[in-house]
Structure 1
Amino acid sequence: MPALPATWSRPIACALLAALLFGASTPVAKQLLGGSAPVMLAGLLYLGSGLGLGLLRLARDRGWRVPAMTRAEWGWYLLAIACGGVLAPVLLMLGLAHATAASASLLLNLEAVLTALLAWLVFRENADHRVVLGMALIVAGAALLAWPGGATGGLGWGAALIALACLCWALDNNFTRKVSASDALFVAGLKGIVAGIVNTGIALLLGMRLPAAGIVAGAMTVGLLGYGLSLVLFVVALRGLGSARTGAYFSTAPFMGAAIAILALGEHAGPVFWLAALLMGAGVWLHLTERHDHLHTHEAITHTHRHVHDAHHQHTHDFDWDGSEPHTHEHTHEPLTHSHPHFPDIHHRHRHDRK
């Protein structure tokens, strides 16, 4: 396989590392369930994510500042928080009350499918047969890992509510793509705080109590790594890959969680695990070897993000600049037409002619 351009390698690595951190959090969080109710644990995981990332931002910036975003970007971001931080967790908890855990595990794979479908059909990300097939193989592998070894039992309203939760998270992924050029720590941190407050509030309203201090500390630590830093990496991947491809890579999380459970916890690896590994490996390979190249036009745009002065960033500075790169500031892209391999990143969100 030919070497990937550096501009592609970083977001792909971020997406896979995000999947690894999130996948690793599952078997670890499972060990904490004995000391906490599931809803309360979910709240603590999200709170650990939001508060931990907030502290990291305070240390990095030596203070608190809100990143510059346009009114439209704030609109997309608030929609993302409402869908992914408020509605989805509530719908999932309501669905779990009317469906088995096995059914829920299988249905949660809908998030990746719906994320891709929305990206392709609504937000018009480009997709060829290779990308679609790769996505299908990755999701098939994830579904195999989640399959309960038999019938899933009656689904009913529980399935509908869980499917709606997946739709909300899929909308969240696509809305977050709209603000992925902004500070990833801020984007992920505020979402974590909101989701943590919502889930913890639900748990307290249902009469649940906070677990022992050791469980709280463990859950919040797992949340910072598996939910917080994972989401930061997910946002960076969105910036460079778009929603559908990032969602596809992130869908390898169940495999990574299962692999960690096998290696670290001594669980048995049966034929289903290896078949899922083969399907996911083939799907990732199809995505890694994708090449999308055509003549395209960049419209004029003004935004703020971390960048170097590459082919897409040939601008002057209206401030004293010491020549250091990468750096962050508001800059304007003039219209540009050229051809080169690219992903649907923050600079390539153009439409494609349907033939």
Structure 2
Amino acid sequence: MHVGILIALLSATLFGASMPLAKILMGSVSPWLMAGLLYIGAGLGLAAVNVSRRVVGRAVAEAPLRKSDLPWLAAVITAGGFFGPLCLMFGLARTDAASASLLLNLEGLATMAIAWLAFHENVDKRLLMGAFAILAGAALLSWQGSASLNRGALLIAAASLFWGIDNNLTRKLSSADPAQIAMLKGLGAGTVNLTLAFALGAALPAIGDILAVLAVGFLGYGVSLVLFVLALRHLGTARTAAYFSLAPFIGATLSLALLQEPMTLRLIAAGGLMALGLWLHLTERHDHDHVHDEIEHEHRHRHDEHHQHAHGPDVPAGEPHSHKHRHEAFVHRHPHFPDIHHRHGHKRARSDGPS
């Protein structure tokens, strides 16, 4: 299995596991304060990891965020950490919880649509069919009644759109250190959410509950986001979002054990749809002659077929390593995903089926 797929599935597993854990803690922590503490837990936890690595001299060879990345990072925090939660807050005040849960599944579709239409990422029929199967399973898990199209529903759809924008803009940063990206995003989004929570009159719970939420945030939001960014690097936005859409099923499955919730026909049917979508994605093969344009960029790499370049005296020895390097233009053919080296255009969608 491709390493990017494994990373995306692990990211979805951690985030999905955070759902039932957050539900257990919801009795003592308000929903809006919960969101802020989860983000802050991600930011503080990753900050502690970064500091400890530097102290023991085990810093990872990743490209740091540069000055040119800051506008993209600001846009990510603004879209995903401010406008998304803000629309969700006002939407929840105007619609029922069942409709809100269903409508929030639009995030995956929004992410894929933006990647396809705005950033021209290749999306073939097989990927679309798999994504709709996974999202149909997620919608089935969320469905508890009819969803009325009112102002609240439109606001929640807008929140999904902002998170779809967030996911696509994060791809612009995916060649940089994912832990640094996730840390800054967690601290930024956490600060915004906590400010809104306290403005709405939220009160801090007991210290034990705070620590528990922070721990869930570190794993379910922080580590999961690090893996999500790495998956973007390997798979591109649309495919990462499609695999990540398995998170609701993972959360529902864990709820059976953690919350003693019953096994239902709906859960079995949703699992079947998601298994179909996963199979369609795992058996995708995208293989054609493609051109690598000349490009200069910086990211963590080894000297594989895409990285044959000379080093100056300032480049650290050993692999993997990170430094600015230039790719010469060349043409070749092999199975690939729209990763950071395969963001070329397509005259038509290609999918040659299972290998």
Return the TM-score normalized by structure 2: 0.93
- Measure, in 1, the Cα distance between the counterparts of 2:42 and 2:22: 14
Return the offset for 1:298: 1.0
- Measure, in 2, the Cα distance between the counterparts of 1:259 and 1:110: 21
Does structure 1 residue 151 correspond to structure 2 residue 151?
no
Are the aligned partners of 1:18 and 1:231 in contact in 2 as well (CA < 8 Å)? yes
The structure 2 residue matched to 1:41, chosen from 34, 40, 43, is 34
Are the aligned partners of 1:98 and 1:155 in contact in 2 as well (CA < 8 Å)? no
Does structure 1 residue 270 correspond to structure 2 residue 298?
no
- Measure, in 1, the Cα distance between the counterparts of 2:146 and 2:189: 32
Are the aligned partners of 1:46 and 1:193 in contact in 2 as well (CA < 8 Å)? yes
Are the aligned partners of 1:86 and 1:194 in contact in 2 as well (CA < 8 Å)? no
Does structure 1 residue 98 correspond to structure 2 residue 94?
yes
- Measure, in 2, the Cα distance between the counterparts of 1:71 and 1:125: 26
Matched ranges for 1:19-34 at <5 A: 19-34=12-27
- Measure, in 1, the Cα distance between the counterparts of 2:159 and 2:179: 24
Alignment correspondent of 2:127:
131
Are the aligned partners of 2:87 and 2:156 in contact in 1 as well (CA < 8 Å)? yes
Stretches of structure 2 lacking an aligned partner (at least 5 in a row): 350-355
- Measure, in 1, the Cα distance between the counterparts of 2:130 and 2:213: 34
Return the offset for 1:147: 0.5
Over the matched positions of the two proteins, sequence identity in percent amounts to: 52
Does structure 1 residue 192 correspond to structure 2 residue 186?
yes
- Measure, in 2, the Cα distance between the counterparts of 1:209 and 1:226: 23
Alignment correspondent of 2:254:
260
Does structure 1 residue 203 correspond to structure 2 residue 204?
no
- Tell me the alpha carbon deviations over residues 231-261 of structure 1, each in whole angstroms, 9 at most, x when there is no partner: 0000000000011100000000000001111
Does structure 1 residue 110 correspond to structure 2 residue 106?
yes
Q: Which deviates more, 54-63 or 215-224?
A: 54-63
Return the offset for 1:335: 1.1
Alignment correspondent of 1:141:
137
Alignment correspondent of 1:121:
117
Does structure 1 residue 214 correspond to structure 2 residue 208?
yes
Letter in 1 for 2:69: E
**Partner-residue secondary structure (3-state), 1:316:** coil
Alignment correspondent of 1:75:
71
- Measure, in 2, the Cα distance between the counterparts of 1:139 and 1:282: 11
Return the offset for 1:265: 2.8
The structure 1 residue matched to 2:322, chosen from 315, 325, 328, is 328
**Partner-residue secondary structure (3-state), 1:34:** coil
Relative to 1, partners in 2 of residues 1:73 and 1:353: Cα closer, same or farther, differing over 3 Å?
farther
**Partner-residue secondary structure (3-state), 2:233:** helix
Count matched residues. 346
- Measure, in 1, the Cα distance between the counterparts of 2:182 and 2:35: 16
Letter in 2 for 1:22: F
Matched ranges for 1:141-180 at <5 A: 141-148=137-144, 150-152=145-147, 154-180=148-174
Letter in 1 for 2:23: K
Relative to 1, partners in 2 of residues 1:305 and 1:208: Cα closer, same or farther, differing over 3 Å?
same
Are the aligned partners of 1:120 and 1:127 in contact in 2 as well (CA < 8 Å)? yes
Letter in 2 for 1:50: G
Letter in 1 for 2:345: R
Return the offset for 1:313: 0.3
Does structure 1 residue 56 correspond to structure 2 residue 52?
no
Return the offset for 1:78: 2.0
Q: Which deviates more, 160-169 or 260-269?
A: 260-269
Letter in 2 for 1:340: H
Give RMSD over aligned pairs. Answer: 1.9
Are the aligned partners of 1:95 and 1:159 in contact in 2 as well (CA < 8 Å)? yes
Alignment correspondent of 1:10:
3
Relative to 1, partners in 2 of residues 1:300 and 1:72: Cα closer, same or farther, differing over 3 Å?
farther
- Tell me the alpha carbon deviations over residues 71-112 of structure 1, each in whole angstroms, 9 at most, x when there is no partner: 553332221121111111111111111111111110011000
**Partner-residue secondary structure (3-state), 1:309:** coil
Stretches of structure 1 lacking an aligned partner (at least 5 in a row): none
- Measure, in 1, the Cα distance between the counterparts of 2:38 and 2:126: 36
